[in-house]
Amino acid sequence: MIRRTTHIAFVILLAGLLAACLPQPETVTVQLEAEDIKWSQTEIEVEVGQELFLIIENKGVLDHDFVIDALDIEVRLLPGDVQEISLTFEEPGVIEFHCAVPGHLDAGMQGVITVTEP
Ligand SMILES: [Cu+2]
């Protein structure tokens, strides 16, 4: 009985070690939709070194303008447009994004990308 318990403990420990050692997926794909008048996601998480592949789609009837000031990124989205952006961060941090169409930021069209240590 004691032997079996030890064996189970060992298996659990091994599973934990494997989970800690397994590399994270290299790409995190996020489908970000602009609806009128909000983003479908306001919190995106990625690790340092991982590729963040953003597929941004305007599903509303208004124009939208995806902007990350910190990275000098601005992507105009007319209704029905789909744009793709690939980002890889070298340092942890919190990067804000928003819609730059007048009034949209005030209406809450903003979010953050949180970059964590691997
Ligand atoms: Cu907008």
> Tens of pLDDT along 18-58?
555 666 789 999 999 999 999 999 999 999 999 999 999 99
Distance 90 CA to ligand 1 centre (A): 28
Which amino acid belongs to residue 111?
G
The residue range of the domain holding 33 is: 26-116
Distance 36 CA to ligand 1 centre (A): 7
Distance 104 CA to ligand 1 centre (A): 5
Residue 81 lies in a domain: yes
**1 pLDDT above the threshold of 60:** no
CA 20 vs CA 3, 16, 24, 45, 118: distances in Å = 26, 6, 9, 18, 10
Distance 28 CA to ligand 1 centre (A): 24
Assign residue 105 the CATH number of its domain.
2.60.40.420
- Looking at the structure of the chain, the number of domains it has is 1
Residue 11 lies in a domain: no
Which amino acid belongs to residue 5?
T
